[in-house]
Structure 1
Amino acid sequence: MAVPATASVRDANRYRPATVTGLVDLIDVQVRERPYARALVVTGERVHLSYRGLSALADGVATRLGATGLSRGDAIGLIGANTAEFVVALLGAARAGLMVAPLDPALPLTQLSARVAALGARAVLLGRSAAGAPQPVANGASLPVPTWPLRVDVSRAGTAALTFTPGAAPAPEAMGAASELSVRDALVLFTAGTSERARMVPLTHANVAASVRTLCATYELGPEDATVAVMPFFHGHGLFAALLATLASGGCVLLPERGRFAAGSFWDDMRAVGATWFTAAPAIHEILLDRSEREYPGPQAPPLKFVRSGSAPLNPATQRALERTFGVPLLSAYGMTESSHQAASEPLPGRGALKHGSVGRPTGVEVRVLDRGGRACPVGVEGELWVHGPTVARGYLGDRDETASTFVDGWLRTGDLGVLDEDGYLSLTGRIKNLINRGGEKISPEHVEDILAGCPGVAEAAVFAVPDPVYGQRVGAAVVVRDGESVGTGEILRYCRDRLAAFEVPDRLELVAALPYTAKGALDRKAVQARYAP
């Protein structure tokens, strides 16, 4: 791919690797060396909060948590949107020696309660919830542990005030998975899924530091960089890539007024903070592309250096269209909660070739492609991806069987299928558990989706298994057509027949208005299956 003329490699002398050991000292260097530099931009008035101000608020939280009776190494939950309260609570709890489990504020009370109980959290900190999302623990609604509201108010002058009055923590109980944690742990992140299936991933301060350092090095982030928080902080994508890496490198994060992504105000936010990059899931990139003709500010756009995509595969056609619109490279990245977010990424221009359709090369970890017998696959041969390195978690809390099958001798079995090329670039081909078995032919829904999305007029597609008495399973597809386009099912199927094996062409194709997505921006395959397969 030809690198856009506006993209350039930053002067290597200006980039300095992040020096952190975990959440506790994440912003210490900035507080010492650049105390009045902006760390966050908050509220609808886009007020600046300095690193010194952020640190003082975090210290206030730590001091008050220390008086509750909680002990170092105890686990607490954190419920909130992408607001100053979330950031202050996270850093303050870390400074108090506590382990933090961010929770999705949109979950119903039953699921929140189940996750808090499964973890064995001793209390829950409450920030502001995203506008429009349920607030199940507001107004005294009960979780199984004390809930302590926290509020941060920032004046136009940048002066911040903390309102936080936690009560006494209850006596610890020998329940939940918190007994498996120690003072070395920083976070517990929940994988995508329902409360019954979501797994708890413990990440140490060393895991966090390794992830942050890798992200900063991969994208050469520094004090001159700024971004807008698009992805939610209760998942690794938003937490590590947008928030923690930016703060560790001395940059600035704008937190949208309502604590979540809003397409209508996105470019105003980007210009307000002088954003140099942003990261998002493909679903959000698709939204920005669809609205770009009427909303992208063109010459008035901020001076972007690159754009990043993660959490799900990005269609190469969309990737190229976005690059033409933004005038900078769009870098695909790959990772998992169990690997502290990123495991591979396309490189910055000048740091390696851009191979769209791939997710780049391993970053900070070793990646192997192994066959079913555990043997290394030759170049270009598909196999399961295994990851090893300092960002890989030690296992799952409270689930020995799944830990034993997923974490093997320090290696993470990702469950993802892929191939490595001769230059070490990784291309994803699907998920093992998603494969459709049509009469013995194994079909990757992700591959079929990629072809469907390349059809002119198609915005996005979801492919799923349809039960069949003869073949076992057939291929079904739900397709969203772009606004203003009139492409029909016959045209889409003809496009597929020219590009897919006969057994891969969807037997059932339905045009739909929208597809369901998870909170982290990935296609919700369970919801797709339930909605369209019967």
Structure 2
Amino acid sequence: MAESLYQLLAASAERYPDRTAVDFAGQRMTYRALREGADRMASLLAEFGAEPGRQVAFCFRKSIDALIALFGIIRTGAAYVPLDPTWPAGRCAMICEDAGIALWVGAAAPPPPVRVQTAITAAPAEGTVPLSAWRDSSPISGEPPAPDGGVANVLFTSGSTGRPKGVRITTRSLLHFSMWAVDAFGVCPDDRLANHAPYNFDLSTLDIFAAVRAGAAVVPVPERVKMFPFEMARYIAEQKISVWYSVPSALMMMQQRGKLAEHDMSALRHVIFAGEVMPKPALRAIARDLPGAALTNLYGPTETNACTYHRVTPEDLASDDAVPIGRPISDTRVWIVDEALRPVGGSESGAQGVSASAGELLVAGPTVTAGYLGDAELTAGRLVPAPGGDGVAYRTGDRVRVRRDGALMFEGRIDRMIKSRGHRIEPGEIEAALAGHPGVQEAAVVALPDPVFGSRIKACVAPRAGRTLTDAELIAHCRERLPPYMVPDVWQYYERLPRTDREKVDLSLLSV
């Protein structure tokens, strides 16, 4: 196995120097050019403090510059912290503060109130260093330094306290997952992998690092294309995408509105989906419209990347049962446990035994997170001793059981976390944002089942005495504090939120 993510790029640049590494918006970059660009970018970044032990903000939409910058950060040994340009400035500022960000690399300057020492940006702005300066930098020399603690990136996800939590993803995790993916999906230099998920979403790591490991082409999907299902389907056909990976809702929208069957999808050989439950009727329709493509369901929270998989079979399509989340990927162990973290059903390993009982899924293996940035208490609560003393395991909070053939079946959450549009969302973070509105007395957030997005988010609000609130007012308030996928879809107002006999908010009455 390669020792670093940069060495994946270096190895492909040696083996396939003239093959296309990135194909975007009519421009192509070879592996030789991508490696040289990363080396020059690393030199520029190191000049401004990028080194092991530092976190670097990485804020881009899809572009070739973004991938040069990403591998440049990796080359310095720093950890990249991906931020979405669509996020509210306040959220970006909170993340930069929590991650101790001093260096920002992005398409545009950091918006106030974000404060950093240095900003390197593609768009000219006063007080920033032009991103194009990498072209005039000398390639960095010497052996690539190892990241501090082995951490390659920090992905910030929804947090129950009202602040996003930083998941520390290791180089080992990304190396192992990319190696498994190349083997599992037979990725080779002739493949073209679409890069659909945003960089702050763990799905994007398969597209990038599996492609680079195999010497295949990364084909980023432009933001304007993502907005229209028909355009997205046409993009897959015109770009001759061979491997597609996205949340199920993106596939469902293309099938329902993009006229999948009318496009030439002959190059598409594998469709992978993760992040949401795929409804069986939608899966059948996708299989019908893409008869030449294998279909695989991946499962795993950000903290484990994809840790189980299931290749869809004709028997799956004929059955009305849910699609399994399958079996562990290589070198990964799983257990189904009760509230005391004891294996249920007499099975020491839930994926290997047969259990009619359901319980929480624990995961151990090379893809498991190193913990949460700056939060030892949360880390200790989620990373626990594995059953039988078999190392450390991550508590997923997902309720699963084992089918008779050994396949894992997802049955929902053991807590209030909401899964919507492929994202895991803590209701508490939305509730904290709503509580900050001066006209809100109290608020609760619940999930409403949705056949396309998994769940819609419902906000239940009790205004302060004498105040009248509107959807538009609260949506605007949320958009200033939350990413788009966390802004509630449905609003309902109460004089007072309903209570149980113990005077707690009765969430069951709100979920109707």
TM-score, with structure 1 as normaliser: 0.69
| Residue 313 of structure 1 pairs with residue 282 of structure 2 | no
Give the corresponding residue for 1:423.
405
Match for 1:40 among 19, 22, 40?
22
How far 1:461 moved relative to its partner?
A: 6.5
Residues 358-507 of structure 1: pairs in structure 2 closer than 5 A: 358-364=324-330, 365-378=332-345, 379-409=355-385, 410-434=392-416, 449=449, 453=451, 462=455
Q: Distance in 1 between matches of 2:234 and 2:50?
A: 42
Would the alpha carbon gap of residues 466 and 35 (structure 1) be closer, same or farther in structure 2, given more than 3 Å must change? closer
| Residue 61 of structure 1 pairs with residue 50 of structure 2 | no
Contact 1:80 1:105 in 2 (8 A): yes
How far 1:270 moved relative to its partner?
A: 1.7
Q: Distance in 2 between matches of 1:52 and 1:162?
A: 20
Q: Distance in 2 between matches of 1:51 and 1:464?
A: 43
Contact 2:252 2:282 in 1 (8 A): yes
Contact 2:57 2:96 in 1 (8 A): yes
Amino acid at match of 1:163: S
SS of 2:367's equivalent in the other structure is coil
How far 1:373 moved relative to its partner?
A: 2.5
Would the alpha carbon gap of residues 225 and 115 (structure 1) be closer, same or farther in structure 2, given more than 3 Å must change? same
Amino acid at match of 2:117: P
Q: Distance in 2 between matches of 1:200 and 1:106?
A: 18
SS of 1:164's equivalent in the other structure is helix
Q: Distance in 2 between matches of 1:520 and 1:235?
A: 13
Match for 2:110 among 129, 133, 137?
137
How far 1:220 moved relative to its partner?
A: 2.0
Amino acid at match of 2:282: T
Amino acid at match of 1:412: Y
CA deviation profile, 1:493-531 (whole Å, cap 9, x unmatched):
xxxxxxxxxxxxxxxxxxxxxxx9x9999x75x825755
Give the corresponding residue for 1:485.
none
SS of 1:346's equivalent in the other structure is strand
CA deviation profile, 1:115-158 (whole Å, cap 9, x unmatched):
00101122111136xxxxxxx736xx552113423449xxxxxx
Q: Distance in 2 between matches of 1:309 and 1:286?
A: 11
Q: Distance in 1 between matches of 2:206 and 2:66?
A: 16
Amino acid at match of 2:285: A
Residues 295-374 of structure 1: pairs in structure 2 closer than 5 A: 296-298=261-263, 300-327=264-291, 328-339=293-304, 341-347=305-311, 357-364=323-330, 365-374=332-341
Amino acid at match of 1:104: D
Contact 2:276 2:453 in 1 (8 A): no
Aligned Cα root-mean-square deviation (Å):
3.4
Give the corresponding residue for 1:164.
133
Residues 6-405 of structure 1: pairs in structure 2 closer than 5 A: 19-43=1-25, 46-127=26-107, 137=110, 141=112, 143-151=114-122, 163-164=132-133, 182=148, 184-193=150-159, 196-238=162-204, 240-258=205-223, 261-262=226-227, 263-293=229-259, 296-298=261-263, 300-327=264-291, 328-339=293-304, 341-347=305-311, 357-364=323-330, 365-378=332-345, 379-405=355-381
Would the alpha carbon gap of residues 118 and 519 (structure 1) be closer, same or farther in structure 2, given more than 3 Å must change? closer
Contact 2:78 2:148 in 1 (8 A): no
SS of 2:226's equivalent in the other structure is coil
Amino acid at match of 2:132: T
How far 1:394 moved relative to its partner?
A: 2.2
How far 1:82 moved relative to its partner?
A: 2.0
Give the corresponding residue for 2:429.
none
Would the alpha carbon gap of residues 150 and 248 (structure 1) be closer, same or farther in structure 2, given more than 3 Å must change? farther
How far 1:267 moved relative to its partner?
A: 2.9
How far 1:400 moved relative to its partner?
A: 1.8
Contact 1:72 1:97 in 2 (8 A): yes
SS of 1:210's equivalent in the other structure is helix
Contact 1:115 1:195 in 2 (8 A): no
Give the corresponding residue for 1:482.
none
SS of 1:278's equivalent in the other structure is strand
SS of 1:423's equivalent in the other structure is coil
Contact 1:99 1:186 in 2 (8 A): yes
Q: Distance in 2 between matches of 1:183 and 1:460?
A: 36
How far 1:260 moved relative to its partner?
A: 6.6
Amino acid at match of 1:21: E
Q: Distance in 1 between matches of 2:294 and 2:86?
A: 33
Q: Distance in 2 between matches of 1:72 and 1:431?
A: 37
Q: Distance in 2 between matches of 1:197 and 1:334?
A: 25
Q: Distance in 1 between matches of 2:86 and 2:456?
A: 27
Amino acid at match of 1:402: L
Q: Distance in 1 between matches of 2:379 and 2:225?
A: 33
How far 1:330 moved relative to its partner?
A: 2.4
Would the alpha carbon gap of residues 229 and 41 (structure 1) be closer, same or farther in structure 2, given more than 3 Å must change? same
Contact 2:24 2:220 in 1 (8 A): yes
Would the alpha carbon gap of residues 320 and 520 (structure 1) be closer, same or farther in structure 2, given more than 3 Å must change? farther
SS of 1:95's equivalent in the other structure is helix
Over the matched positions of the two proteins, sequence identity in percent amounts to 22
Gaps of 5+ in 2: 124-129, 136-146, 346-354, 386-391, 419-445, 461-478, 494-509
Contact 1:65 1:96 in 2 (8 A): yes
Would the alpha carbon gap of residues 381 and 278 (structure 1) be closer, same or farther in structure 2, given more than 3 Å must change? same
